[in-house]
Amino acid sequence: MNEFDFIRRYLVQQNQDADVLKSIGDDAAIIRASVDMDWHISKDLLLSGRHFFEDVHPADLAHKVLAVNLSDMAAMGAKPRWCLLGVALPELNQTWLDAFCGALFGVAKRFDVQIIGGDTTRGNGVFSVTILGETPKGKALHRNGAKEGDDIWVSGQVGDAAVGLRLLGVAKQLPEYADFAESLRLLPEEVVQQCLAAQLRPEPRVVLGQSLLNVAHAALDVSDGLIQDLQHILTASQVGAEIHLEQIPSNRVFKKVFSPAQWQQCVLAGGEDYELLFTAAKEKRMQIELLARENNIMLTRIGQVGGEGLRILDAEGRALEIKQGGFDHFA
């Protein structure tokens, strides 16, 4: 199979979107953008051996490649519309591509986004999606909108994806995860499966993100670890905050099987949760609790905006020392 067979067989789709005048097959896609909307454009790059293990299942890989981009749209309350897919593959293997493209178009359909173009080349497993989304003019959520007195909320639970990564790392006998081997053996099987799913197939909070427009003051998606990402909101908004350790939603079992340091590493600094972290006025509490029920998702208040810097308090009100903030590719 050559590049053109691949494009023709796997990528060319029936265009069902009236705003797409040209999709895959021409030199560039053409979209007719609405003048009432603001446009969001973002890109993520995933490298074999760095962002995923080389033997990852192609369906899981396709899911994650798209999900991390959808999550960036969710973080700003944007409705994802279109994306472009760049791939560098060592070979065009039919079985692999069947699984990859099947999952890719499945996720795209579920979130109502169209793949309208991309580029394909030979290379060592590089995947990059550029995504376009929209919000009504002036309504987008930013990192810099947090206000004194705001509640700080997080969706779902954090730490599962980090534990999932450690499960994979221990299974592969990677030395950097060896410390976790003993405690991970104590996790019940259903928790193991839940953590692997969180790591391999994160669920972007696309609907929730859009329903936070006009509700939240600031938002982002937790990709580098709860504390580090919260710091991004605080820095951008030039405010401080207080977080209550006991209120952070994470799997109950983690506290039993992990040491406090391991728990912190996974829950506070773990990364790849792709949950939404947002701040909102106290007056919005009822509305947010209603949103949680409507979206069938847990939304938890973990602290409040105010004061100097970030204080993380334990159950006795003692401030915690945080050494490892989160993930930094250049650290």
Q: Which residues bind Mg ion (CB under 5 A)?
A: 119
The reply on whether position 115 binds ligand ADP by CB under 6 A is yes
By CB under 6 A, is residue 181 in contact with ligand ADP?
A: no
Distance between CA atoms of residues 328 and 331, nearest Å? 5
Chosen residue from 2, 14, 27, 317 binding ligand ADP by CB under 6 A:
27
Single-letter amino acid, residue 154: V
User: Which of ligand ADP, Mg ion, none lies near 11, with the C-beta cut-off 5 to 8 A by kind?
Assistant: ligand ADP
Min. distance of Cβ 97 from Mg ion in angstroms?
Answer: 17
Q: Which of 102, 118, 136, 240 binds ligand ADP (CB under 6 A)?
A: 118
Q: Identify the residue among 5, 112, 119, 148 touching ligand ADP (CB under 6 A).
A: 119
Q: Which is nearer to Mg ion, 112 or 119 (CB)?
A: 119
In the complex, residue closest to Mg ion by CB:
119
Dihedral angle of Cα 184, 276, 272, 126, to the nearest 10 degrees: 150
120 binds ligand ADP (CB under 6 A): yes
Instruction: Cite the DSSP H helix spans in 90-205.
Output: 94-110, 160-171, 181-184, 189-200
Cβ-contact 131, 41 below 8 angstroms: yes
Distance of closest approach, residue 241 Cβ to ligand ADP, in angstroms? 41
Contact range with ligand ADP by CB under 6 A, out of 54-62, 117-125, 149-157, 296-304: 117-125
Q: Give the CA distances from residue 331 to residues 167, 326, 328, in Å, rounded to whole numbers and listed in that order.
A: 23, 10, 5
Integer Cα distance of 158 and 267 in angstroms: 6
Q: Convert 124-147 to b/e letters by CB count within 10 Å (16 or more is b).
A: ebbbbbbbbbbbbeeebbbbebbe
Q: Is 85 in the site for ligand ADP (CB under 6 A)?
A: yes
The binding site for ligand ADP (CB under 6 A) comprises: 7, 11, 24-27, 85, 87, 115, 117-120
